[in-house]
Structure 1
Amino acid sequence: MHELVLVALLLGLSAAVWLVLLARRRAGQAFVPYEARRPVPWGLLDVFLALTLLVFLTSVALATLGDDITCRPDEPLDPDAVSRQLTVILAQALVSLVVVVVSVGTIWLRYRATGADLGWSAAKVRSDIWLGVIAFLALAPPVYAIQMCLVQWFESKHPLIELIRYNPQPPLIAAVIVSAVAVAPLVEEYLFRGLLQGWLERLADGHDDPLVLILGRADQAPSVAAPGAARWPVAVSAFTFAILHVTHGPDWIPLFVLALGLGYLYRQTHRLLPAIVVHGLLNACSLLVLLVS
């Protein structure tokens, strides 16, 4: 009964948000106002190094621990296995955060990148959180609807979801919440929206020579992307994000739709916090539904 009330509330709020958004479109306005900024200073090399470092450190961590996130429905984990899985989850989260810190530090040292370059504005934290909540209300129902349709024919297989579904122990649940609701949104939005899409937008701008696009350059000029900036960087970053989840069954399809919305938010605001809020709320709702059911 409580679940139905929550679903009805979500759908009602989503409908109200979409009425406002469609009214904006009819008035000739964008869903989210475009905020121009100078091109990001980093190059393809910085994107490649961050993603390579993530893969390398994750592989080293798993090889050192000698385990991965595993779960068999017919074999509940014993206490030692629970401890190992807990260590793996927290190690992967820590590795991801280390990669973000190293990447941000490197970019700051090489280019003296500002907070705006990196998708952050302390002055707009409250408005960005509010924008993220509104965007969540707009994106969550269609994303969940696509997911519900697909799982009728294809099994969804997310390792963290499977782990706590068959082993609902408090330490594992807490670790999964930290990983999925806090760490993953921060890391993935930085890598795919900030780092990758930011660079793709510079590529689409077409004003830099190939060497600058590869190695990067601190562009202190006040040049900014035009309001009619290319949309394909949103699609490319969204597809890259989604295809990395292809081992999770059909999940990559609704994730692609979600990532299009997240990419649009970044394209319009050039800040990461709205997308992080959407991503975190969506993961939190998915876990809440699982835990309640």
Structure 2
Amino acid sequence: VALNDFNEAAEAAKSARTLVADPDIIGVIGHLTPETTQAALPIYTEANLAVAIPWSVESTAVAQHDGVVSLAATVEETNAGLTTLTQGMNIEPSIIDSTNREAFPAEVQAIELATDAVTAGDILLNLPKTSAEKPIRTFGQVETGNLQLIQVAGDAANGVIFVSPGPGPTDIAAGSAFVDAYQAMTGLLPGPRAALTYDAANVLLDSIEQAIIKGHGNWQFTQPNRANVSASMMTVQRLGVSGPIAFLASGLRIEAPIWIYQISESTYPGTRINP
């Protein structure tokens, strides 16, 4: 079953209630923004549904709920990775979290966008005019890095450096057939969200398989249910397209990787600039 939450918290909660009402649903993959994930998680966990989160959320959102794992580096981890990069470049960007022009310091030289991609695109289109010799350096937190940034800002998005918890198609783990299969199905190359969603799906499938294997030792076992699939989530280990996957007892991914990209030629995710 696939439901669209339109990246809106209210729709995410509505979708979650629809899913938990179906007794045949024993696990969920989702969601793709922190707001939608946090809106849906309490509903899933109250119903004892296993949840594999494919995109960055704050660490507390995962740790507060049993049977929940996160495939992505947390918001705190991605922000720390971006800070490490800017410090290494001897840049201290001003953090911008709205389109309010008054939020821009006078003679700003570098900014770090802490908004969704659509808002970030609007900001880029309305940046103060600067000379070509001294353009404003622009960095983006995890929610800024999205194809919508280019769709809104167009060429103004070129040069933006952003942090991502998932790999672009050229950084998918070697030996994976995922890129070719995804392109054959959709006609497009998979972006970071597609890669992590694929990994999340496999983690959920592995947890179902583990629940079945464990259940075969119990004469009363008939088929996996929400409780035993949820209990298996933390123990899954596998090599995903985003690298090795294993989880802490909290549900957070061990040594969750991050990637940093720079948009160029109006393509997403662009060019990887930091290992």
- Give me the TM-score of the superposition, normalised by structure 1: 0.26
Select the structure that is richer in helix: 1
Whose RCO is larger (CA < 8 A, sep 6+)?
1
Higher strand share: 2
TM-score, with length taken from structure 2: 0.27
